[in-house]
Amino acid sequence: MGSRNDMRSTYMPSAGDRAVSRRSSGSALDQFRANERRAAPSESGWGWRPDLSGSRDSGYGWRPARPSFETTYRPAGTEGWGWRPPDYVRPTQSTFNGWNPFLFWLLLDRLDRPDSVDFFHDQEYDAGYRQWRAQAEREARDNAELRAKLDALDASLAAKAGDPRNPDFLPNGVSAAAAHAAAVPVDAPRSGGVPWGLLLVALLIGGAVVFMIYTGRRHAAAGAARGGSMDGLKTAANILRQKMSGAPVTLKPFRVGMALTLDPTPFILAQGATKVPAPKTEGQTAFANVQAVGRIEGAPLQRLHLDDSTFIQIHLDGNRPDECRYFVQIDEVEPADAEEWKVWLERDQGMIGWPQFQTKDNKLYDRVWSPGAQWVAPIPYVEVLEGKAASPSVKGVMMLYGAPTGLAEPAPQTEYVLVASVESASEGAWVSIHAGIDVNPAALSLT
């Protein structure tokens, strides 16, 4: 029989189930805040670690109450090792030449196991090991415990210096999926002729031209049906000309019901490399209506909501957008009690604000807003919504994380994960997790 967590991961809640869960989670959030007010200020420094074994598991990494990078990580298949990272374990990058950034630290703590020493011997000249070792040496300057472990490692490596090496060896209990960070394959140019990457770009640009013309004709037909007039080909040509020239774009005032067309190029290029699906389409066109307009108080951002799970977030410089990102919700968590809310929101320890965030597929994302190695307070916000009568506004805190896609330009270079607590007076409270990519503001067609 599957565990409670297994069942939760496969069950898709109905709208009614979600509404009840949000209301219950809102009550739990109130209880969490009441507990925080009663807690003594000194408690935040205790080495307390919540026991969530009997509570609902969100599937996301969580941190102990002391500042370490236990956050987010226990490699799949190594649960039996019972590893708890020391305080000095602070990975500074998402991978070490493709190796999971925590793997070397875990094995350093297990030098009493012969297969750990064998692994370090086999990878002694690997670029990833060298990257990790350089970071470990920096940390060891002020840490006698770590210095002693590295010295012990060097002694073990010296004793095996003449042994053969097997770069494919992995310690017992460590799977290849746990040892290696996810990589995105990129086709290399072939010798002779036109490089495949350039050919792909040319094909995509050509496809974008056809798409713009087709979209323009659809808009023209739609405008005629509403009694208006619109030269679709001219509009498509103007959009394409702005894209190619890099000229500044001025958007019309945002309003509920306005039609929106997105350039499909970044989604085609990023297909399979991010968690962001292509926009919803009508026929073969990425065409939608703005269902709600959100103004973020507390951050210079505006949002065009296309449905309950998708929005375009825009930063305006005056009335010109200088940043545009497309976000799709990939998960929602309704913490069931105050202890689960503590995992997300505890001051100095909450996952929203931690230096890295790990999604359920074990991918790590570094903090984009206020980057650094320490916890920072998440960004408080109030989103005033036009077009959602049931929820005229929501509030909470949020933090943006990002990781490189590994794709060549002009594909999106970064995949974002936006993690936010959401409080609604009418619906309750929950945690939303959105994935997103950058889109060119010049590619937006708003009518």
pLDDT, position 13: 59
pLDDT, position 214: 52
- 355 pLDDT above the threshold of 60: yes
- 233 pLDDT above the threshold of 50: no
Residue 142 near residue 183 (C-beta atoms within 8 A): no
Task: Average the pLDDT over 232-240 and give the result.
Answer: 45
Number of H helices, E strands in the chain: 11, 13
pLDDT, position 14: 63
DSSP per position, 176-206? HHHHB------PPPPSSSS-HHHHHHHHHHH
C-alpha span between 415 and 405 (Å, rounded):
6
Residue bearing tokens 């190796």 = 99
Residue bearing tokens 């990781």 = 403
User: Alpha-carbon dihedral of residues 189, 195, 196, 201, nearest 10 degrees?
Assistant: 130
C-alpha span between 176 and 384 (Å, rounded):
46
Task: Average the pLDDT over 406-416 and give the result.
Answer: 91
- 73 pLDDT above the threshold of 50: no
C-alpha span between 374 and 355 (Å, rounded):
6
Task: Average the pLDDT over 217-239 and give the result.
Answer: 45
The domain spans of the chain are 60-179, 251-446
Does the pTM exceed 0.95?
Answer: no
pLDDT, position 72: 40
Q: What percent of the chain has pLDDT over 70?
A: 64
Task: Average the pLDDT over 326-351 and give the result.
Answer: 92
C-alpha span between 329 and 432 (Å, rounded):
7
DSSP per position, 23-47? HHHHHHHHHHHHHHHHS-GGGGGS-
Quick one: which H or E segment has residue 153? helix 144-159
Q: Residue 33 — pLDDT band, cuts 50, 70, 90?
A: confident
**Per-range mean pLDDT, top range of 22-31, 379-388, 397-406:** 397-406
| CA within 13 Å, CB half, 157 | 15
pLDDT, position 1: 35
| Burial readout 148-171 (b: 16 or more C-beta within 10 A, e: otherwise) | ebbeebeebeeeeeeeeeeeeebb
pLDDT, position 396: 93
pLDDT, position 94: 64
DSSP state of 126: -
pLDDT, position 405: 93
Q: Residue 230 — pLDDT band, cuts 50, 70, 90?
A: very low
pLDDT, position 428: 93
When the pLDDT of each residue in the chain is averaged and rounded to a whole number, the result is 73
pLDDT, position 30: 80
More confident of the two residues 119 and 92? 119
Q: How many CB atoms lie within 10 A of CB 69?
A: 22
pLDDT, position 366: 93
pLDDT, position 284: 56
- Listed in sequence order, the residues at least 6 apart from 217 whose beta carbon sits closer than 8 Å to its beta carbon are 232, 233
